[in-house]
């Protein structure tokens, strides 16, 4: 079965640079979520999109922005990168019509290292 | 507010034995879903099992079962016949039926299966 595709798998950036992470949800899934997982921590919710509209916002810095495109893929844009942004970034998708019963399916993540 | 608590930072189990990973939750929402995810050292987040708040029976998926005690607000994961490949971080997570359907995670339990 098709899974959530994230690219790139690894990314190394310097401080103050920008980064763009891409996510392709499972076909027919209408909701995309972004999570940030720091070393030794649990994933923290950043932002979500339902049918290309932002549906919820968590602890996402103002330096970050995201959007969902007409083909349902999503991109997380990160600017003025800081050392503390080094983390594993997950994208997940779900079928919102199933509501809270539906699990989130996660991609393999993008490991961002800021030097 | 919703909260997931996992009180066991780490657990050891002998191969072929069963192990229980604890999870308690707190929510004022009557409708919610409880999920367990496995995160191996390679980093991906793998969905294991789901329990709905209205489900009368405990969920089972192969060697995984969920011991759901609604009155105690607990949703413990039981892994039977542990295998070396079960060594990983395990996260308990919850979605509620409120305005936002994001998944919130506990802090995780690191399971080590010993030969």
Asked whether B57 and B49 are in contact (CB, 8 A), the reply is no
Model confidence band, residue B102 (pLDDT cutoffs 50, 70, 90)? confident
Tell me the count of A-B CB pairs closer than 8 A: 65
Q: What is the pLDDT of residue A98?
A: 65
From chain B, the residues in CB contact with A59 under 8 A are none
What pLDDT was estimated at residue B81? 97
Give the chain B residue nearest A32 (alpha carbons): B102
Which of the residues in chain A have pLDDT under 50? none
Contacts of B104 in chain A (CB under 8 A): 45
pLDDT at B16: 97
Which of helix, strand or coil describes residue A82?
A: coil
The pLDDT value recorded for residue A67 is: 96
Q: What is the predicted pLDDT for the residue at A79?
A: 97
Q: Cβ contact (<8 Å) for B96 and A101? A: no
Which residues lie closer than 8 Å to B4 by C-beta, 6 or more apart? B23, B24, B25, B26, B92, B93, B94, B104, B105, B106
What residues contact A108, with CB distance under 8 A and at least 6 apart? Answer: A6, A9, B43, B44
List of chain A residues whose C-beta atoms are within 8 Å of the C-beta of residue B37: 106
Residues B56-71 pLDDT 10s: 999 999 999 999 999 9
Which of 4-63 (B) contact A at CB < 8 A? 31-33, 35, 37, 43-47, 50, 52
Q: Are strands A87-94 and A110-114 parallel, antiparallel or unpaired?
A: antiparallel
CB contacts, 8 Å: A106 with chain B: 37, 44-47
| DSSP for chain B, written as a single string | --EEE---SEEEEETTS-EEE--EEE-S-SSEEEEEEEE-TT---EEEEEEETT-SS--EETTEEEEEETTTTEEEEEE-S--GGG-EEEEEEEEESSS----EE---EEEEEE-
- pLDDT at position B108: 98
- Residue in A closest to B95 by C-alpha: A100
Give how far A23 is from chain B: nearest CA, Å. Answer: 14
B86 Cα to chain A: minimum distance (Å): 18
Average pLDDT estimate for B35-50 = 96
The predicted structure's pLDDT at residue B68: 97
Dihedral sign for Cα atoms in the order B10, B16, B22, B27 = positive
> Measured between alpha carbons, how far apart are the two ends of chain B, in Å?
41
């Amino acid at each position: 079965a098709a899974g959530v595709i994230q690219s790139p798998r690894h990314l190394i950036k310097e401080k103050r640079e920008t980064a763009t992470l891409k996510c392709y949800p499972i076909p027919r899934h209408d909701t995309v979520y972004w999570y940030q997982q720091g070393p030794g921590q649990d994933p923290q919710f950043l932002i979500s999109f339902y049918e290309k509209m932002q549906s919820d916002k968590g602890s996402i810095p103002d330096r970050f922005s995201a959007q969902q495109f007409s083909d349902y893929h999503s991109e997380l844009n990160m600017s003025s990168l800081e050392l503390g942004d080094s983390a594993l970034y997950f994208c997940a998708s779900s079928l919102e019509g199933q509501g809270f019963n539906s699990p989130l399916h996660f991609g393999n993540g993008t490991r961002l290292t800021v030097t | 507010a919703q909260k997931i608590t996992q009180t066991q930072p780490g657990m050891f189990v002998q191969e072929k034995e069963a192990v229980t990973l604890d999870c308690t939750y707190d929510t004022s929402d009557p409708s919610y879903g409880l999920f367990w995810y496995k995160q191996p050292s390679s980093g991906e987040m793998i969905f294991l099992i789901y329990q709905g708040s209205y489900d009368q029976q405990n969920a089972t998926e192969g060697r995984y079962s969920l011991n759901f005690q609604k009155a105690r607000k607990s949703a413990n994961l039981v892994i039977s016949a542990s295998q070396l490949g079960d060594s990983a971080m395990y996260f308990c997570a919850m979605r509620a039926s409120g305005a936002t359907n994001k998944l919130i995670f506990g802090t995780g339990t690191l399971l080590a299966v010993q030969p």
